[in-house]
Structure formats: structure tokens, C-alpha cells
Copies of this chain bind each other. A is one copy, B any other.
Amino acid sequence: MHTLEATYHIASSPEQIEARAEALAIEQSIEMPPSAVRQPKILREVLAQVASIQEVETGLFRVTLRFASPTTAFETAGLLNVLFGNCALQAEVELVELKLPPELLSAFAGPRFGISGLRRLTGVQSRPLTCTALKPQGLSPAQLAELAQTFAKGGIDIVKDDHGLTNQAYAPFAERVPLVQKAIAEANARTGGHTLYAPMLTGGPKTLLERLSIAKQAGVRVVLVAPMLLGLPAFEELVAELEMAVLAHPAFAGQRIAPPLMLGRLFRLLGADATIFPNHGGRFAYSRETCLELAEAARAPWAHIRPALPVPAGGMTVERVEEMVSLYGRDTMLLIGGNLLAAGDRLLERTQAFVQKVAASAGRTNG
């Protein structure tokens, strides 16, 4: 079947749901009254179909629509338009699931590194990976480099920029990135470690290319990108030419698209090798179930699309390492930022404790 299936949650009364579902099918495909369409072929081949309607709870329905794949033009913007273009403006509609037919799926390459590529880059074979963030905003490149060096000495696998670090005057990209990269390389040389630095890459296409070239020249091999800040078509095109691994950050990803679909499957489809998301019990309200679904969406087998590494984050602590490893298993990267920094003068020790806990927990996990 050449059909793309998209599933929505729609808030509606039982009396109106059939008409509401039909209206959504029209909105997302031909966007005009079917009675005004003069070509029967378009009604047969382009107009989306309501495949099923199920009540989820009182006033909420699960509606699956079938779209003709060619309406997506087999490209990112076209796919997003079909899935959530106009209905992004309809507050009663949430996009929750997606089923891509083979000919559409084959238009997307997915992660270029994936979990195995990130393991190769970091030299970590069987345990979860560790990650931390350079912050706060306002530090100078030299201060950030010093922090990064301590993290690298402590054995962190990936040290990323705070996503808020773009190109502020107090830490310009062109100055910050080579300095931090160098500080980490020095630590690696001393410890024999393989810590990687992931700078935050933002901007319109031109700015992005300039920053990318600075990063490449500095020897950077992983970048942090917020796909929704960049624009998803720009993200997909960037990854295709990047030759670096990509950590996806969820900043600005506030559409009414279920997090497992948005941060898990869509970011992965478009090329994220790892996807950062707010773990339950931190500063964000995702439930444990949503987090597990998201991790599953990032890692589950999916045709030729490589698995991406789930990265639970957002107010995590060293104290929670064992619980997180037992929840997410080995193919995970734990991201702890502020809780390490809160150690002050004992930053190196807290970092080492994090790294050791992750290594130890992994021995007890088969996941």
C-alpha cells in the first residue's frame, strides 16, 4: 500500500467526531470542499481517508488517517505539511503516531552514526555513555575550557555546550569552540581517554556553514543541534553533509506532537544519532511511561534507520544513576549538568563519581 498513516488524538464530542475526523482528512490533503473538486481521480488518489476512530476517554478520540505518499513529495517539509501543517493551528488535535510506507521511509537516511557509531567514536563498548554540559551562560571561553578539561579528566564521554550557548559576545563560537576542543584534547592526551566535545550549532544556513567550518577545523566530531530551532528540513539537509555525529536537543520543540514521536521517531528519521529529552522526576513533567516510549521510539528496529541513543536529562543527579540505568538499560547516555557543577571545588570528584557509578551500574544490567 502506498499509504502513509498518521494517528491523531482529537478532542471532540462523540456526535461530532466523524465529521471532525473527515474535516481533518480534508484539511491535511486537498484543503477544499470535496464537492468542489472536479477531478474524480483527485478524490480517489489525493484526498486522505479516515481509516479508524476509537474513543480513548470521554471526549477524546484516536483517529487514524491514510494519506497518499506522493502528497509528501518524499521530502521533509512536504511530510510535515501533510502530517501537521494546518492542523498545528487546531488546538484540539495532537499528532501521536506515524507509519511510513517503504517508499517514503526510503527517502530518509536516518542517523549516520547511530548508537554503534557513537560507541565507536567514544570507545565505549558495553556500558551506558555519560554526558555533561558547559554552563552557565556568561562564562568566558577560557572558563568554559577549564570546566571542559575537568570534565574530561573525570572521564565524561561527551561534554556538550549548554544549548543556550550560541554566539554570545562573552563566548563567541569562533573563540569558544577551538579553545574548549583543545582543552579536552589535552586532558585526553594525559588520561588516555576519548572525551568528545559537542558544541551547539545554530543559525541560518550561511551562519551554520561558517560555524561548522570552524568546528571542523578545530577537530570537532560531534555537534549539538536543536532541530526545531534550526528547522527540520535544514536539519535533515545538514546531517546529510555533516560527517559528524549529532546530538539532538529538544529546545523549541513545543508542537502538539507526542514527545515519543517528535523527539524519538521524527528526530531520528531526520538524522539524530542521540536525542536529549527531559527525564521524569526532573524539572519537566514527562511521565515515566512517556520517557520509556520515547527511548523505545529512538532505539527500536526500524527498517534501514539506525537506532539513536536516548539521552534522559533535565535536572538529573548522580544519586539517580542506578535507577536510570536500570530503567533505560545500556544503550543510553546519561546527561547530568547542574548537579555536577553544584559540587563547586569538588567538581572533578563528583564527575568521577558519576562516571564510576555508570560503569558499575552497567555491570548489573543486561538491558
Closest Cβ–Cβ distance, residue A145 to chain B (whole Å):
15
Assembly CA distance A81 to B33 (angstroms): 39
A88 CB within 8 Å of chain B: yes
**Would A89 and B207 count as touching, CB distance under 8 A?**
no
CB within 8 Å for A70 and B169 given contacts A251-B81, A254-B84, A255-B255? yes
Which of A234, A259, A344 has the most chain B CB atoms closer than 10 A to its own CB? A234
Nearest-CB residue, chain B, relative to A92: B285
CB within 8 Å for A42 and B137 given contacts A81-B251, A166-B75, A169-B70? yes
**Would A230 and B229 count as touching, CB distance under 8 A?**
no
Mask, A127-144, CB within 8 Å of B = 1, is 000000001111100010
A301 CB within 8 Å of chain B: no
A120 CB within 8 Å of chain B: no
How many chain copies does the complex carry? 2
**Would A342 and B35 count as touching, CB distance under 8 A?**
yes
Picked from B29, B87, B137, B283, the residue with its CB within 8 Å of the CB of A23 is: B283
Assembly CA distance A283 to B41 (angstroms): 25
A90 CB within 8 Å of chain B: yes
B contact residues around A205 at 8 Å (CB): 205, 234, 237
**Would B138 and A45 count as touching, CB distance under 8 A?**
yes
* A positions within 8 Å CB-CB of B: 23, 27, 29-33, 35-39, 41-42, 45-46, 70-73, 75-78, 80-82, 84-92, 135-139, 143, 162-164, 166-170, 202-207, 226, 228-238, 250-256, 259, 278, 283-286, 337-338, 341-342, 344
Residue contacts A-B, CB under 8 angstroms, 27 given: A29-B136, A29-B164, A31-B135, A31-B137, A31-B164, A32-B338, A42-B139, A78-B164, A78-B168, A81-B202, A82-B164, A85-B252, A89-B250, A89-B253, A89-B254, A89-B286, A91-B285, A203-B233, A204-B235, A204-B236, A204-B237, A205-B237, A207-B233, A229-B233, A230-B233, A230-B234, A254-B256
Q: Which 4 A-B pairs have the closest CB atoms?
A: A231-B231, A204-B237, A88-B254, A205-B205
